[in-house]
Chains A and B, each alone.
Chain A
Amino acid sequence: MTVVSLETYAENTWCPGCGDFGILAAAKAAIQELVREGTPLENIVILSGIGCHGKIVDYINVNSFYSLHGRVLPAATGIKMANPELTVIGFAGDGDAYGEGVEHFVFSAKRNTDIVLVVHNNMVYGLTTGQYTPTSPKGYQGKSTPKGSPEEPMNPIALALASGATFVARGYAANKKHLIWLIKEAVKHRGFALVDVLQPCVTFYNTFPYFSKHVYDLQEEGHDTSDFMAAMEKAREWNHRLEGRVPIGIFYKVEKPTFEEELLKGRRPRQMPYIDTVSHVLKQHI
């Protein structure tokens, strides 16, 4: 069994101990397993937004689209609809996916585009050196909110469910084996798959100690992933305050037709021939 090399020559510039390393390792392992199981490497495309997470595309030697802040999802959708044979995995930050790009997030879930979104959710802006994000708990003292964030955090799991996502999961950057499994399950799922990943920022918001003690696996507690109301209840169990138990695993999973299927109706954009003439249409204008 050969393992495909995914190394690049790019120097890794994340802070030592960053939660992003866990996601990088899990993503690479998941891609390697997918390739071993038959997905051609050239058919895998990864994307990222802007923020610390974004550098992940430089660190994995596969097709990639280093996008703009908040814009991973429409770019990913464009790629998937132009070539549905591709496996499209987007990486984004919490400020990226849930702040700047939240309209795209809601609509990608609504459309059920067959792409994966892995959110590096560290509850802080890292690359801009420490401001509150859509998922920071109320009162978070960042550089833009020295008196404490005045807002309640957004609940991305509940938002994804409410928006119509057909696969909603949460992982933890320090739980590599579980995260590999989640990413692979998300890829195998046909439809929009969110994997929100608790990704502690060791420099600006080190949540490792808390999460390592308080996460629990939904699947070990027999959660029914086909029950929307149960998923919503689990989504509301914890919302970014460092209190209480934190569920990880698959919240919800259901099969629905994908955006590409509905849009393309069997057409294969890359294989469709160029038209030779427009005379048949011009005739309608006489």
Chain B
Amino acid sequence: MREYSVLIGGQAGDGVRQAGQMVARIFNRLGYYVFGYDDYPSLIRGGHNFSLVRAAEKRVLNHNPEVDVIIALNKETVEKHAWRLNNNSLVIFDGREQIGVEGSKVLAVPMSAEVRKRRYHPLTRNTYALGIMAGALQIPLEILKDVVRSMLRKHVEENLELAELGYEEGKNHAIRRVEKLDNDPRPVLTGNEAVALGAAKAGLRFYIGYPMTPASSLLHYLAAHEDELNVITVHPENEIGVAMMAIGAAYAGARTMVGTAGGGFALMVESLSLTGQNEIPVVFVVNQRPAPATGVPTYTAQSDLHFVLNAGHGEFPRVVVSPGDVDEAFYLAGKALNLAWKYQVPAIILSDKHLAESYMTATFDESRVKPEEPVLWKPNGEFKRYLDTETGVSPMAFPGTPGAIVKVTSYEHDEYGITTEEPEVITKMVEKRMRKVKYIVEELKREETVKVYGEGETAIVTWGSTKGAVVEAAEKLGLKVIQPLYLEPFPTWAMEKALKGVKKLIDVEVNYGGALARLLKTYGIHVDAKILRYDGRPWTPHELEEKLREVV
């Protein structure tokens, strides 16, 4: 497989992330599938940030630790990442001094000095560096220029000039030629962007959020695209306000989603339980990061599975979906919103930093997601918000509907929505709500709820963003991969089918305890080995391959 990897490193504030996205777009325009990983500490200026971009002929869902090009905006980048270089790598270094890196070519260009001399904005340096990279990889200059024009809003002319200047220098140090592939460029999205678009396509009207990494970019993205997506974004006083506003807006008839990380979701749990009692549909996006407490804010984890499955006092149905790439994020966000509204239950989209903020080539078919009709009250006769029906779903009406008095409540209640403490009514209403699970399951049986890759007697079970690295490693080793997309209701029927003929089951996750393995155990599925990490970093196929060889 033809593939290329580029690392850009520098300080926070150097525009590393945007430069990485520009590299991804360059390769995208050359017909490659791309994946970009951003690694950054929780600070605004200084520190060490890097972006790793991988481009390949085939779909890739993770970065490659080995790189072909390092764009080092400072010396620290070279020191920290020299181990990633191979014998045919190139280091593009911002400086005059010639630094030695064993076995690799180093091209020291005083880019900052040149930018200062021209009195250009300091960030134009990145385009200069990309120009050198394009030259060294023999990528047509016009492609870089096109990316500059489409991505940058300010200092476009200066950037174009520096792209050309860099290109001329890079050309003289060509290390290889990146061939153009016969594919049209495709959209490159982060998990958060895919969730935003999937929800918008399913009729999202309000997105409400309080800033918290790695969910802030979801709020920012929808805020920036409000008018294009017909979504209204709100940033209230805290996460409790977020969740309660969402329930209010949904009660008034607007499809609403909120988003946060584990810590913010902890504050929303009281409201989640309210949705369990008052049956108002709300979608919660929970992007995991290492915890407990503040944890490691800008890194990744899969340690909130049991938290979201069990969050909220009392018993009530919920839907929990777990996307592993941007296509799944798009489809499942739409599905979560539709299921929430059709069954009047809370739905949780459980993601993580690695999916939420990494960018990758999207191939989804947007026509598969649209707003599905909820059960609405037809204005005939008396309206009862909690009418006991066969499916447990009561036809909805919203305030402002003539003839319908819409009473919702946090108390146990009768069909009309008036408080009750009568044992028969309590029993009836608990059963009405819990009955919905059966019908959600019936609908899910018509959906793809578990993904299976490859075949064989040894299978890896995994979830969320970890599937990217797992699938790639498993392909090399000839192993089967099983990935549940729904964690609640848990698709036992599809798991059973997926596990047919499997003699050895290996669990791969990013947490200490093996959360998925523990969940599987409750359904009578036992794993033979667990491969776990909990250092805030996602698995890469190369690391996994080694670990898998040990246990297979």
A78 near B229: Cβ-Cβ < 8 Å = no
Contacts of A77 in B (CB 8 A): 236, 241, 245, 248
**Which A residue sits closest to B184, measured CB to CB?**
A286
Contacts of B366 in A (CB 8 A): 277-279, 282
Contacts of B201 in A (CB 8 A): 275, 277-278
Contacts of B408 in A (CB 8 A): 64-66
Interface flag for A267 (CB, 8 Å)? yes
Interface flag for B3 (CB, 8 Å)? no
**Which A residue sits closest to B406, measured CB to CB?**
A63
A78 near B248: Cβ-Cβ < 8 Å = yes
**Which A residue sits closest to B247, measured CB to CB?**
A75
A67 near B228: Cβ-Cβ < 8 Å = no
Contacts of A269 in B (CB 8 A): 205-206, 232, 249, 254
B240 near A282: Cβ-Cβ < 8 Å = no
CA distance A45 to B345 in the complex (A): 22
B249 near A79: Cβ-Cβ < 8 Å = yes
Contacts of B242 in A (CB 8 A): 74
CA distance A42 to B200 in the complex (A): 29
Most chain B beta carbons < 10 A, residue from A10, A106, A267, A281: A281
CA distance A236 to B398 in the complex (A): 42
Total interface residues in chain A, CB < 8 Å: 55
A103 near B241: Cβ-Cβ < 8 Å = yes
Interface flag for A270 (CB, 8 Å)? yes
Interface flag for A169 (CB, 8 Å)? no
B244 near A83: Cβ-Cβ < 8 Å = no
Q: How far is the CB of B512 from chain A (nearest CB, A)?
A: 33
A104 near B252: Cβ-Cβ < 8 Å = no
Contact A75/B400 with A270-B253, A286-B185 known, Cβ cut-off 8 Å:
no
**Choice from B236, B270, B370, B403 contacting A107 with Cβ under 8 Å:** B236
B409 near A66: Cβ-Cβ < 8 Å = yes
**Which A residue sits closest to B24, measured CB to CB?**
A285
Segment touching B, from A16-24, A50-58, A150-158, A200-208: A50-58
Interface residues of B in 268-286 (CB under 8 A from A): 270-271, 274, 278
B400 near A85: Cβ-Cβ < 8 Å = yes
Q: How far is the CB of A33 from chain B (nearest CB, A)?
A: 19
Contacts of B249 in A (CB 8 A): 78-79, 81-82, 269
Interface residues of A in 156-194 (CB under 8 A from B): none
Q: How far is the CB of B281 from chain A (nearest CB, A)?
A: 13
Interface flag for B362 (CB, 8 Å)? yes
Interface flag for A97 (CB, 8 Å)? no
A107 near B409: Cβ-Cβ < 8 Å = no
Interface residues of A in 32-47 (CB under 8 A from B): 40, 42-43, 45
Contacts of A62 in B (CB 8 A): 405
Q: Mark A59-71, 1 if CB is under 8 A from B, else 0.
A: 0011111111001
Contacts of B205 in A (CB 8 A): 82, 269, 272
Interface flag for B454 (CB, 8 Å)? no
Interface flag for A218 (CB, 8 Å)? no
Name 5 interchain pairs, CB-CB below 8 A, sorted by A. A66-B411, A71-B240, A78-B251, A80-B248, A86-B252
A282 near B248: Cβ-Cβ < 8 Å = no
**Choice from B185, B187, B240, B401 contacting A42 with Cβ under 8 Å:** B401
Beyond A77-B248, A81-B234, A286-B187, 11 additional contacts (C-beta under 8 Å) are A43-B399, A65-B278, A67-B244, A74-B240, A81-B232, A81-B245, A83-B253, A272-B205, A272-B230, A274-B371, A286-B150
CA distance A269 to B278 in the complex (A): 22
Per CB-CB distance, the 4 closest pairs between chain A and chain B, nearest first, are: A78-B248, A66-B409, A74-B244, A82-B252
